[in-house]
Structure 1
Amino acid sequence: MRTSMPGHRAFVPTTTDRLVKAAMTTAGRLPAGLIQLIAGRPRHVDGQTLDPHFQAGVKVMSLLSKGEYEDMPVEEARLTLDRSAYTVSGDPIPLAVVRDIVLPLAGDDPGSADLPARVYSLVETDEPQPTLIYFHGGGWTLGSIESHDATCRYIARMGGVKVISVDYRLAPEFKFPTPVNDVLAAFRYVRDNAEEVGVDPTRIAVGGDSAGANLAAVVCQQTRDAGETMPAFQLLFVPATNMSARTQSYETFREGYFLTKANMDWYEENYIRSDDDRTDPRASPLLATDFSGLPPAHVATGGFDPLRDEGEAYARKMAEAGVAVSLRRHSTMVHPFVNAVGATPLARAALSEAVGALRMGLAY
């Protein structure tokens, strides 16, 4: 396991970025009633009321936006998402360990590659720790270690858990199933080299948000099907689970709530190679034929999210198969609330709740 990090994409904020972040962080500490004055008339949709912090945030992001991701060159879209995540990340959360490494995954398979990763820990210790391997969201196209740095710091600090954030390869340069193969290789490496990596081999969870949650779910299915030691727990935030069909929440929240239907169409077009991929459980884990024997899970969805219904359907499928699952709809939030730890107390509360589920699942 090397400590250099070739190919890692760092985000360097501008002065304007810093000013926007300071404003969003300040707003995130203000009472909801005061923020509602800025956000405007409350939005009531599908029996839910949008959190005023998110309503104001969507409004600000819209004013600052240079366009939709699908209308930009991919590299510009990646920079735009990193910038958006930075502005809502809040003050840096101090930890004893924040270390960039490289997972040595390149082998005889010409399609394999070493992957950058970042390790987070509340303590510097040689003792094996409970560990969450985290896969960032971004539609298999965008996102990075940097865009999800605040999320991983929050989980590590509040949970007292080691977090290993993996920079898997992205589409369209690396289409399905390369990201799946990357995250499977990352999990297997940590599991099989637990002593070297400093993790408790009996307490390794996988997790992620959106596309990252999709990949975490697939890791659990694939390792079960191969008869291998699976993750001990899966932490799935706003998971994408089905590319073969659209649910009602896609229509209800198709635009105006950060993630749009057009965004998802673009992400999937970048990721998949053909329509046959849409029905492959490695791309659409909801289409698996067997959900029994999977690791315990916590699934958290957002009320104002096109992916809400398919995420909840995945949780129900696992529960019906006898898997221990806690499903939590955060009815006032948009996709992806896990990144907004600096912008609203509700995002912090949702992450804290998930950390509690993780601790219960790993029994520490």
Structure 2
Amino acid sequence: MDPHIKAMIDEQAAAAAAQPMPPLDALPPEMIRAGYRMQRQAQNQNAPKDVEARDLEVAGAEGPIPARLYTPAGAGPVTPGLVYFHGGGFAIGDLETHDGHCRRMAAYAGCRVLAVDYRLAPEHPFPAGHDDALAATKWAFDHAAEIGFDPTRIAVGGCSAGGNLAASVSIDLKNDPARRLAFQLLLYPGIWPDEETQSRKDLDGPVLTKAAIAWFDKCLAAAGHPQAHRANLGSKAEVAGTPPALVVTAGYDPLKDEGRDYAARLNAAGVKAEHVEYPNLVHDFYIMGDVSPAVEAAARETAAKLKAALG
């Protein structure tokens, strides 16, 4: 494991041993969100400052939802665009937790990034977040001229649960001739496969624990829903015809096997998909920019691939 990341994890483990936290079910969701926001913001203070960030509203499935448009320094009136969905198990995370990461993607890829603050479970159970992600992506196409997106070079992306949303939107839009996605950026995506992968069985943390995954599943409440296939992107997901993809996984992440397998399924279906694994890193690493130089290096490599894909 990256030594800087390991030092952070050891420090957190010592703090947790000294003052144990109650189970997630015993805490109100807003308290969990506030703690996550505080932690991740503190770990990502040194992202590029010369990126313009403008808060706005975009269409959600049941009304306007918040979003943030990132424009890199020196950008022309029109650039490629990335519609981005934050991670957090569909229950936590927001525009602030992933602000530094979005700034890096905008600055290093030279594209505008539209970060979407979709509705969260459990207050808004499945498929609210998926519906918002789809509506917001359609909005980005339909308002491309207003936000400086080149409508022929729009990608969708996300990390963890946000990667699930991005993959799901890619499937939803694959037959929409007016809204042709150019790329999907799936960063340690949660695929929710048919069967428990070996990495989910073997790894209980760091960062993403079995208890957290179970709590996220309970909050989302997708199991048994008629549209559960939009979140459970297992072998029955109709991935043929979706845009080219970059799938990034981390070596110390319970989700690594499903990300790897999803990239393989995309390729088997005729979708050009590249899989990159960072064997020394952990889940959520993109939003730990101040913890290790390895995060900055990975962000630059990922953004370079995004830039090349969008031309």
Q: Which TM class, normalised by the smaller chain length?
A: over 0.9
1:262 correspondence with 2:214: no
**CA distance in structure 2 between the partners assigned to 1:158 and 1:308 by the alignment:** 25
In the TM superposition, residue 227 of structure 1 has moved relative to its aligned partner by: 5.4
State which of 151, 167, 182 in structure 2 corresponds to 1:232: 182
Distance 1:326 1:261, change over 3 A: same
Distance 1:71 1:311, change over 3 A: farther
Q: How does 1:51-200 map to 2 (within 5 A)?
A: 51-65=2-16, 67=21, 69-103=24-58, 105=59, 112-123=62-73, 127-200=77-150
1:293 correspondence with 2:241: yes
- Pairwise CA RMSD of aligned residues? 1.8
Verify the 8 A CA contact 2:55 2:67 in the aligned structure 1: yes
Verify the 8 A CA contact 1:337 1:347 in the aligned structure 2: yes
Larger radius of gyration: 1
Verify the 8 A CA contact 1:210 1:239 in the aligned structure 2: yes
| Alignment TM-score, normalising by the size of structure 2 | 0.93
Q: Which is worse superposed, 124-133 or 322-331?
A: 124-133
Distance 1:96 1:311, change over 3 A: closer
Distance 1:226 1:176, change over 3 A: farther
Distance 1:86 1:96, change over 3 A: closer
Deviations 1:212-269 (A, max 9, x none): 00000000001114555232111110001125431110122123x1101110111011
In the TM superposition, residue 276 of structure 1 has moved relative to its aligned partner by: 4.3
State which of 285, 288, 294 in structure 2 corresponds to 1:337: 285
Distance 1:245 1:282, change over 3 A: same
Unaligned runs of 5+ in 1: 1-49
Verify the 8 A CA contact 2:43 2:288 in the aligned structure 1: yes
Distance 1:294 1:95, change over 3 A: same
**CA distance in structure 2 between the partners assigned to 1:169 and 1:56 by the alignment:** 34
Paired amino acid for 2:247: V
**CA distance in structure 2 between the partners assigned to 1:150 and 1:228 by the alignment:** 32
In the TM superposition, residue 96 of structure 1 has moved relative to its aligned partner by: 4.3
- % of aligned pairs identical? 35
Q: How does 1:206-355 map to 2 (within 5 A)?
A: 206-225=156-175, 229-242=179-192, 244-255=194-205, 257-276=206-225, 280-355=228-303
In the TM superposition, residue 291 of structure 1 has moved relative to its aligned partner by: 2.1
**CA distance in structure 2 between the partners assigned to 1:272 and 1:187 by the alignment:** 23
**CA distance in structure 2 between the partners assigned to 1:238 and 1:207 by the alignment:** 11
Verify the 8 A CA contact 1:141 1:172 in the aligned structure 2: yes
Q: How does 1:25-44 map to 2 (within 5 A)?
A: none
**CA distance in structure 2 between the partners assigned to 1:290 and 1:96 by the alignment:** 37
**CA distance in structure 2 between the partners assigned to 1:84 and 1:70 by the alignment:** 20
In the TM superposition, residue 95 of structure 1 has moved relative to its aligned partner by: 2.1
Verify the 8 A CA contact 1:97 1:124 in the aligned structure 2: no
Verify the 8 A CA contact 2:127 2:222 in the aligned structure 1: no
Paired amino acid for 1:101: L
| Alignment TM-score, normalising by the size of structure 1 | 0.80
**CA distance in structure 1 between the partners assigned to 2:284 and 2:266 by the alignment:** 22
2:146 alignment partner, SS class: helix
Verify the 8 A CA contact 1:136 1:212 in the aligned structure 2: yes
Paired amino acid for 1:95: D
Deviations 1:300-331 (A, max 9, x none): 00111111111111110001111111101111
**CA distance in structure 2 between the partners assigned to 1:201 and 1:159 by the alignment:** 17
In the TM superposition, residue 157 of structure 1 has moved relative to its aligned partner by: 1.2
1:284 alignment partner, SS class: coil
Paired amino acid for 1:204: I
Deviations 1:98-152 (A, max 9, x none): 111111x26xxxx612010111111366611111111000000000000000100
**CA distance in structure 2 between the partners assigned to 1:70 and 1:332 by the alignment:** 31
Verify the 8 A CA contact 2:193 2:235 in the aligned structure 1: no
Verify the 8 A CA contact 1:238 1:300 in the aligned structure 2: yes
